[in-house]
């Protein structure tokens, strides 16, 4: 009898060594639990909420019916551009803490502005190393802290900086299309797809070399189709517990047309994005994990048509008059001599340039922190909750590496982002206006209140602490708050924290929206053409 028991024990030991665990494909080290939840985040790049009624979106509507929609969601921080917002989403921290300030930002030690989002910096992992060095945490890191061996993936097509931003400090796989040969990092579309990624964060070889993922572009919507193909391969081969997907095509298309003023074009591309979301939803159903998955649908910013252009030379001359020069031309920019920021900003604010509402400049406070202050002329031009809104938004970037001057502009006016011809993009999103800040936000899945439409000013920074809470993981070191109004079992502390933030932010976002409506009405009156 003893020999039989020894034989049985030995057999079980050998089986445990030789037979792979079936808990999840591609990994034998995962710790799983019946209560463990999955997460899928869809960032429909540059998707204005008013794009959604332009077409049939059955899959997004299904998620809305199964969860909570925030009708007044906004970026809620600066800058509202892709490389900044994606790490804000993943880390739940403002740019002042996660360190990504734009496509480029100044090194305070050298005084030089460096392009931190170039292909090589992303591919070699330097961008993600910079985020990790700030000490922020992320959805991926905290998920794996609770569930050792779990896999986290962040993917895009040509927007490699979006995937890297979502990957932050904790993604196992940071994947995108090979864009090393694309002529300009500003133009991320391509005619060929080849899987690439951040070195050290690549997928298994059978995904990296999969012939179905190495192909020519076959349609105008293929960037969103390809990244969805990649998502489905990851689900099949490694089943990541956290999957964050940037769908870039709405942004790509929006830049080249007139955004909301080209509803037929935008309706088609948004409809395709919805189909790709539906493909992922269906795959999760077939995998038997749909009911255990938190789904998020949002955007990283809006998009506005360029109806009016602010000339750059007068602004440069006004900065030069203050005794310095502009280093980057943008709504938020650096100057060579930061001590001249107050004078340069006042020169611009008092010049009465159409489309520029005022100017805020960075100052170092007595405690060593940074803040932005309005110039004397700006204090007369921008008052009340709108001034409070600009002060709040500027505080989210304020640091030793943030810009020297911020220029709030009118809706549909464009000062920056030019093509090689020197002309402005047909549409863009860098200005600090409501239609660039306003984003869709839907959260659905287990533990989420169903079928609600809420007008609280939810922000991108609030997504990470909310989804972590829904997955029974405690958020740590995050600036955002749990969106308790969507959580079925929210604690009193979470409810009170959100209520306090909502009470503060609601009049600010309302003031930004009201300013936008006033701008559009004035633009219509001046031009005789209706603007959106």
User: What pLDDT was estimated at residue 29?
Assistant: 55
Name the residue with tokens 């460096």.
114
35 burial class (0-12, 13-18, 19+ CB within 10 angstroms)? exposed
* pLDDT tens track for 141-181: 999 999 999 999 999 999 999 999 999 999 999 999 986 54
Per-residue pLDDT, averaged over 88-96, amounts to: 98
Contact 158, 182 (CB under 8 A): yes
Using CA atoms, how far apart are residues 112 and 116, in angstroms rounded to an integer? 12
* pLDDT digit string, tens, across residues 482-510: 999 999 999 999 999 999 999 999 999 99
Q: Name residues whose C-beta falls within 8 Å of residue 172's C-beta, 6 or more positions apart in sequence.
A: 140, 151, 152, 153, 201, 240
Q: Which residue has the higher pLDDT, 31 or 459?
A: 459
Give the DSSP letter of residue 423: P
Phi then psi for 438, rounded to 5 degrees? -70, 130
What pTM was computed for the model? 0.93
Q: What number is the average pLDDT over the span 248-254?
A: 97
Mean of pLDDT values over 414-431: 73
In the structure encoding, which two tokens stand for residue 184, read together?
Answer: 């300009």
Q: Which DSSP string corresponds to 454-477?
A: E-S--BGGGHHHHHHHHTT----S
Instruction: Kindly report the average pLDDT of the chain as a whole number.
Output: 91
Mode of pairing for the β-strands spanning 370-374 and 452-454: unpaired
Q: What SS3 class is residue 36?
A: coil
Is residue 23 very low, low, confident or very high in pLDDT (cuts 50, 70, 90)? very low
**Helix intervals (H) in 302-450:** 312-321, 341-349, 376-381, 384-395, 434-437
The two tokens of residue 141 are 């890191």
Q: Average pLDDT in the 124-129 region?
A: 96
Q: What is the DSSP string of 189-210?
A: --SEE-EEE-TT-PPPHHHHT-
Topology of the domain covering 38-305+435-504: Alkaline Phosphatase, subunit A (3.40.720)
pLDDT in tens, 27-86: 445 767 788 999 999 999 999 999 999 999 999 999 999 999 999 999 999 999 999 999
Q: What is the mean pLDDT of residues 347-364?
A: 97
What are the domain boundaries of the chain? 38-305+435-504, 312-408
For residue 22, is pLDDT > 90? no
pLDDT of residue 82: 97
User: What is the mean pLDDT of the segment spanning 325-343?
Assistant: 90
Sheet containing 441-444: order of strands: 195-197, 173-177, 152-155, 242-247, 38-44, 293-298, 441-444, 67-70, 452-454
Nearest by Cα to 198 from 162, 234, 252:
162
Q: Which pLDDT score is estimated for 421?
A: 52
Indicate if the pLDDT at residue 2 is higher than 80.
Answer: no
Q: Which residue has the tokens 């305070």?
A: 108
pLDDT at 189: 53
Per-residue pLDDT band at 425 (split at 50, 70, 90): confident
CA distances 485 to 39, 295, 507, Å, are 19, 16, 18
Mean pLDDT of 436-441: 98
List C-alpha distances in Å: 184 to 90, 117, 419, 466, 512: 26, 12, 11, 36, 33
- Give the tens place of pLDDT for each residue, 175-218: 999 865 444 444 445 688 999 999 999 999 999 999 999 999 98
Give the residue-averaged pLDDT of 4-17.
38
Range scoring the smallest mean pLDDT among 6-10, 29-33, 103-107, 452-456: 6-10
The pLDDT score that the predictor gives to residue 17 is 33
Question: Is the C-alpha dihedral spanning 40, 41, 44, 45 positive or negative?
Answer: negative
For the ranges 327-341, 466-480, 481-495, the lowest mean pLDDT is seen at 327-341
Give the tokens for residue 88: 């804000």
| Core vs surface per residue 209-245: b (16+ CB within 10 A) or e | ebeebeeebeeebbbbbbbbbbbbbbbeebbbbbbbb
């Amino acid at each position: 009898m003893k020999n039989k028991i020894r034989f049985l024990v030995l057999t079980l030991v050998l089986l445990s060594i030789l037979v792979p665990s079936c808990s999840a494909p591609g990994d034998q080290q995962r710790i799983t639990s019946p209560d463990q939840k999955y997460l899928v985040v869809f960032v429909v790049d540059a998707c204005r909420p008013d794009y959604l009624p332009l077409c049939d979106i059955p899959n997004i509507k299904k998620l809305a019916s199964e969860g909570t929609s925030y009708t007044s969601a906004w970026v809620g921080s600066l800058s509202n551009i892709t490389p900044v917002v994606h790490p804000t989403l993943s880390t739940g921290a403002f740019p002042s803490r996660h360190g990504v300030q734009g496509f480029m930002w100044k090194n305070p030690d050298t005084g030089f502005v460096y392009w931190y989002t170039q292909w090589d910096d992303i591919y070699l992992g330097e961008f993600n190393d910079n985020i990790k060095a700030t000490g922020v945490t992320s959805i991926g890191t905290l998920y794996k802290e609770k569930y050792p061996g779990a896999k986290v993936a962040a993917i895009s097509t040509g927007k490699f900086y979006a995937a890297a931003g979502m990957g932050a400090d904790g993604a196992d796989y940071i994947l995108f299309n090979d864009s090393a040969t694309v002529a300009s990092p500003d133009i991320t579309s391509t005619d060929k797809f080849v899987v690439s990624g951040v070195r050290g964060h690549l997928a298994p070889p059978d995904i990296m070399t999969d012939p179905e993922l190495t192909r020519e572009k076959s349609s105008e919507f293929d960037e969103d189709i390809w990244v969805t193909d990649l998502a489905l391969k990851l689900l099949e081969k490694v089943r990541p517990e956290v999957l964050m997907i940037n769908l870039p095509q709405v942004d790509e298309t929006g830049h080249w047309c007139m955004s909301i003023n080209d509803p037929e074009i935008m309706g088609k591309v948004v409809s395709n994005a919805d189909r790709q979301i539906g493909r992922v939803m269906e795959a999760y159903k077939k995998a038997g994990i749909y009911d255990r998955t938190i789904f998020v649908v949002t955007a990283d910013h809006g998009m506005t048509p360029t109806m009016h252009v602010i000339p750059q030379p007068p602004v440069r001359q006004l900065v030069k008059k203050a005794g310095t020069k502009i280093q980057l031309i943008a709504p938020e920019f650096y100057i060579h001599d930061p001590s001249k920021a107050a004078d340069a900003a006042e020169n611009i604010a008092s010049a009465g340039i159409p489309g520029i509402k005022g100017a805020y400049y960075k100052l170092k406070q007595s405690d060593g922190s940074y803040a932005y202050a309005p110039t004397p002329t700006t204090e007369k031009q921008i008052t009340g909750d709108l001034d409070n809104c600009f002060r709040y938004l500027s505080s989210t970037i304020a640091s030793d590496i943030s810009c020297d001057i911020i220029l709030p502009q009118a809706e549909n006016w464009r000062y920056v982002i030019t093509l090689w011809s020197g002309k402005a993009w047909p549409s863009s999103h860098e200005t600090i206006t409501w239609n660039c800040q306003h984003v869709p936000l839907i959260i659905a899945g287990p533990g989420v209140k169903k079928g609600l439409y809420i007008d609280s000013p939810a922000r991108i920074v609030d997504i990470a602490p909310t989804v972590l809470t829904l997955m029974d993981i405690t958020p740590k070191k995050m600036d955002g708050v749990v969106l308790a109004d969507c959580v079925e079992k929210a604690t009193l502390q979470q409810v009170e924290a959100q209520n306090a933030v909502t009470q503060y932010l609601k009049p600010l976002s309302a003031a930004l929206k009201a300013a936008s409506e006033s701008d559009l009405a004035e633009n219509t009156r001046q031009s005789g053409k209706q603007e959106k």
